[in-house]
Structure 1
Amino acid sequence: MIIRALAWLRGVQFLLWIWVPFTDGDPGRFAPQVLAGYVVAALFSVALFTVAVKRDTLSARWVCADVVLAVVYAIVVSRSYPPVEAASITNWVIPPLCGVTVTAAIYGGRYRVPAVVLVVGAWVVGAWPALGTDSSTELLSNNVMMALFAGVAGITGKLLFETAGGADRAAAETAVERGRAERASERERQIRHLHDTVLQTLEGIAQGARGSGLDEVRRICGAEAEAQRATVLAARPDGTVASVVQALAVMVQDHPAQKELHQVITKFDSRLPDLPAEVVEVLTGATREALNNIVKYARTDEARVTAALLEPGGIKVTVVDHGVGFAAGTTPPGFGARRSILEPVAGIGGKAFIDSAPGEGTIVEMTWTP
């Protein structure tokens, strides 16, 4: 939600300047670096938020690149304007710089404050010639605006992340407890069933109350075996459905990644329907293998597992890490990636792919629709 809001904000901030060259009366009066910088910055922002929406997060590398580019155009473009216009609305860099400070304040981590200070400082350096002109007041007000926006965004973003994280953890814990309770109930049912059937038969044979001869004992055992076989088959017919949310939550909760990594973030859509047991089993196993590979090869301290509704009645499971990654076109680390992720998901009629780049982490995405 935050990433999409930032993307819309940045888009509007760039669009604010579109009217200036045409209403100014002389579009050709702008220096080449003004228009060229605008195009480069806009295209970079498109790439930035396209990747961010796809990965459901903003990595430190992208935030750093966003800040560095902002510093460059804050100075170069602002210095290309006449001093009286450097701090005015005709300078297109002002709104996007606000967007960069807001993004850095939310996703800059421990470097959020230095990043914001760097961007604001670059703006001051670029627009400094405006001092002593009619735009002096705007130079000061824009500084205050960028700093305030960044401060409010940083605090708000932190509160939203903490609230969402708490809700996700509570939902995961609830799903885990529900799954454990259901498994305990199922164990009790199985024990009661065995006590009332197989154990009663065996005790009767041992005490001589049933089966007067070997042939009779064989007949009784055969009949009991058929009854138990029918019970096992009835437990998982082709149409049986299972809770994918509970299966994933229990698997993640019990996975070694909970001890090996600093944090395993889960986000499971509460609208997900129960799915065929085979689909749940395959998706859970593939997710487990993806987490195994993160623990073994990613060299990171965080992983993210999400399960989202995919209409009509389908599911998309995504496992993301921001570890070392690997080059596109090469074999993913871990022998089981193809055997335990790609092939099983294809076997149930789903789709799976693994996307990665050196230093950008890895995305494992699995989808299934009825």
Structure 2
Amino acid sequence: MTSQTSSAKTALERTHTMIIRALACLRGTQFALWIWVPFADGGPTRFPPQVLVGYVLAALFSGALFTVATKRGTLTAPWVSADVALAMVYAIVVSRSYPPVDAASITNWVIPPLCGVTVTAAIYGGRYRIPAVVLVVGAWVVGAWPALGTENSAELMSNSVMMTLFAGVAGITGKLLFDAARRADRAAKEAVAARAQQVQASERERHISHLHNTVLQTLEGIAQGTRGGNDLAEIRLLCRTEAESQRTNLLAARPDGVVAALTQALAEMVAGHPVQRKHQVITKYDDRLPDLPTEVVEALTGAAHETLNNVIKYAKTDEVRVTAALLEPGGVRVTILDHGVGFDGDTVVPGFGTRRSILDPVSAVGGKAFIEGAPGEGTIVELSWTR
């Protein structure tokens, strides 16, 4: 489990991305509203050059602005300041280029983009959002002022009010969205922290329980004389077995707190198996083992348990090795090896118990079981499963 990894965006980052995309779509639509105007009623030549040049430059700057913002995931103060400054220039220069009667009409392309600039400044202007909106609206009034007294004079005031109201609503909405995203991120961090504490507590309890049920019981048995007696070799075997058990227990806990189920299951099975009484069991488990479906863990562990039963019955050896290794991609291989009497694979056919308890369960979960032996050279059992 991970808590907000570098590859996963936070709620605040997702909110920035959503708002920037919305502002980019809004600005593009606002520029697109005027595309038809130059081709109606006389064509583009009826406008002064600064009208068309200003339109092209403003559109290109807006494209660059939102391209950079999309890559960075936010709008920075220098870009917002440049957007406001350019808007003030074309609000005055372009509006004054129109005849007074058209300065505040829909034929003036600056009106929709200016509204977009005020909305952007209200969201990303920081503590200067109000002055930025005032400057843009003020520049619009200065540029379109000649329209006052014409038939479109009312448009001068209505467009000013529209820009101001849109900016106010956008600023409040943006603040609410950002505040909600920050609260969501804080809640997510608190939930991850609480989960981590829960996992740590669970791991601590697991380790305590494992210690109580294994090494402490063994030490108490040795101290009371019920385990090992006076046989120094038996006591050493018990100590070596418990050391392997504790090493396996430590490997069973992943750094992220997830228990590697197969490692833990094998360790617990081996620790409690009767083979420990008369045999030295050497275990080695790869700490990279993946988490597996429960039925796979049960099948592999059950087959390994039955294999150790066979070691007790037939191997006539005092040592057995149990290993678990990683198979790419995402698979595992459990190997049980002894150097006992072995068997002749050409003449000995696996019995009913071997098929029922080793071969069939592993095959049923999509795995493979391989048994090989030779007289006097021991037996190897390989249990494998891949995704």
Class of the TM-score when normalised by the shorter of the 2 chains: 0.5 to 0.7
Report the Cα distance in structure 2 between the residues aligned to 1:120 and 1:34, rounded to whole angstroms.
19
Residue 67 of structure 2, aligned match among 38, 43, 50: 50
Identity %: 73
TM-score, with normalisation over the residues of structure 2? Answer: 0.59
Q: Identify if the C-alpha distance between structure 1 residues 24 and 218 changes in structure 2 by more than 3 Å, giving closer, same or farther.
A: farther
The residue type paired with residue 207 of structure 2 is Q
The residue type paired with residue 35 of structure 2 is I
Report the Cα distance in structure 2 between the residues aligned to 1:238 and 1:103, rounded to whole angstroms.
51
The residue type paired with residue 244 of structure 2 is E
Q: Which runs of 5+ in 2 are unaligned?
A: 1-17, 253-262, 265-286, 293-387
Residue 76 of structure 2, aligned match among 59, 74, 88: 59
2:220 matched to which residue of 1?
A: 203
1:224 matched to which residue of 2?
A: 242
Matched, 1:214 2:232: yes
Report the Cα distance in structure 1 between the residues aligned to 2:232 and 2:62, rounded to whole angstroms.
82
* TM-aligned CA deviation for residue 190 of structure 1: 1.4
Residue 239 of structure 1, aligned match among 286, 290, 310: 290
Provide the secondary structure at the position in 2 that maps to 1:210: coil
Residue 151 of structure 1, aligned match among 146, 157, 168: 168
Residue 111 of structure 2, aligned match among 91, 94, 98: 94
- Cα shift readout 1:218-245 (whole Å, capped 9, x = no counterpart): 211222223333442526543239xxxx
Report the Cα distance in structure 1 between the residues aligned to 2:88 and 2:152, rounded to whole angstroms.
21
Shift >4 Å, 4+ stretches: none
* TM-aligned CA deviation for residue 35 of structure 1: 1.3
Matched, 1:18 2:46: no
Matched, 1:82 2:99: yes
Residue 189 of structure 2, aligned match among 172, 180, 186: 172
The residue type paired with residue 74 of structure 1 is A
* TM-aligned CA deviation for residue 62 of structure 1: 1.4
- Cα shift readout 1:73-126 (whole Å, capped 9, x = no counterpart): 111111111211111111111000000001111111111100000000111111
Larger radius of gyration: 2
- Cα shift readout 1:146-192 (whole Å, capped 9, x = no counterpart): 01111111111111222222222222212221221122112111111
Provide the secondary structure at the position in 2 that maps to 1:46: helix
Number of residue-to-residue matches in the alignment = 241
Report the Cα distance in structure 2 between the residues aligned to 1:186 and 1:213, rounded to whole angstroms.
35
Report the Cα distance in structure 1 between the residues aligned to 2:49 and 2:175, rounded to whole angstroms.
40
Report the Cα distance in structure 2 between the residues aligned to 1:189 and 1:240, rounded to whole angstroms.
18
The residue type paired with residue 222 of structure 1 is R
- Cα shift readout 1:279-302 (whole Å, capped 9, x = no counterpart): xxxxxxxxxxxxxxxxxxxxxxxx
The residue type paired with residue 100 of structure 1 is V
